[in-house]
Amino acid sequence: MDKLLDEFISFLEVEKGLAKNTIQSYRMDLNKYLNFLTGKKIKNISKTTKTNIISFLLFLQKKGMASSTISRNLASIRAFYQYLAREGYVRKNPTIDLDSPKPEKKLPHVLTVCEVERLLAQPNCSELLGQRDKAMLELLYATGIRVSEMVNLDKDYVNINMGFIKCVGKGSKERIIPVGSIALKNLEIYLKKVRGKLVKNPKEKAFFLNHHGKRLTRQGFWKILKGYAQKANINKKITPHTLRHSFATHLLENGADLRSVQELLGHADISTTQVYTHLTKKRIKEIYNKTHPRA
């Protein structure tokens, strides 16, 4: 079996021209698999079955490996058997119709209400860019829109008088989202006192501008957010999506129904929104454990 592995690796190097790191990953994964077979007294690769492969994947799972790592191992094994079948070393490829393990659903990181308030209090509103940042942070927490949706907002998409924004989400789907009074007030201040001083080209459509007078980018906002998170002494992992996750979680914690949150977030499938119910259940359990005398 080791000889067949060497042949396969040579095939990847010479005919496929794969990178050294990729080839090293194949060799490492397949060495694990072949050692597993040897431990099961299987010395002929042509005698292996789908059951052997499933047993190996379960073995990796019991060792605590992530589903992404197990999927990578299976991909290596699948490629190996495809090569063996093509070269006539095995009559049947046992990996056909073998499903990869489903990836784990990682719960998103959220801030507490107190942490959000600390974050929102950081911008210096006496400065032009500080007032812009305040408006952006308040808008994200008030509406739950994606950062990409925020930076893509055009001036015409923000209706201060009616209290809503028009958002263009994934798949160019439009949705109308109400904006809370505090966020609305900061948007109005930004529009009246800041945007006009930042803009260089009167034809510029973007609502939020950088110091060059052009549309702010996701990367630009990410740097801004990280700076304010440090100032607020928030040690949690924060991403551009953190305020969106916090928005959804806090709504559900305060009694909002799942369908409404789904519509506000612009999720096509409610199962995507349901991840936040896991967060609220976890939060409720934490509160119970801290406050109940017999928890």
Residues 18 and 123 in one domain: no
Round to whole Å and give the CA distance between 39 and 210: 61
* Structural domain boundaries, residue 63: 2-87
pLDDT of residue 254: 83
Catalytic option among 47, 105, 170, 281: 170
- Asked, for residue 181, whether it belongs to a domain, the answer is yes
Round to whole Å and give the CA distance between 3 and 87: 14
Average pLDDT over residues 29-57: 90
Of 265 and 140, the structure prediction assigns the larger pLDDT to: 140
Active site residue 170: yes
Round to whole Å and give the CA distance between 20 and 31: 16
- Asked, for residue 105, whether it belongs to a domain, the answer is no
Least confident of 116-125, 144-153, 284-293: 284-293
Active site residue 292: no
- In this predicted model, what pLDDT tens digit does every residue of 49-65 receive, in sequence order? 889 999 999 999 888 88
Total number of domains in the chain: 2
Catalytic option among 146, 195, 245, 250: 146
Active site residue 228: no
Q: Is the pLDDT of residue 187 over 60?
A: yes
Task: Report residue 245 as tokens.
Answer: 């996750």
Spatial CB neighbours of 157, under 8 Å, sequence gap ≥ 6? 165, 166, 167, 168, 207
Residue 238's alpha-carbon distances to 101, 122, 147, 232, 245, in angstroms, are: 28, 15, 13, 12, 11
- Asked, for residue 267, whether it belongs to a domain, the answer is yes
Q: CATH number for the domain including 279?
A: 1.10.443.10
* Per-residue confidence band for 28, with pLDDT thresholds at 50, 70 and 90: very high
Active site residue 244: yes
Catalytic option among 134, 195, 244, 245: 244
Active site residue 241: yes
pTM: 0.61
**Helix or strand run (H / E) with residue 158:** strand 158-159
pLDDT of residue 44: 87
- Asked, for residue 73, whether it belongs to a domain, the answer is yes
**Helix or strand run (H / E) with residue 177:** strand 174-178
- Asked, for residue 101, whether it belongs to a domain, the answer is no
Active site residue 146: yes
Residues 44 and 178 in one domain: no
Catalytic option among 118, 155, 185, 241: 241
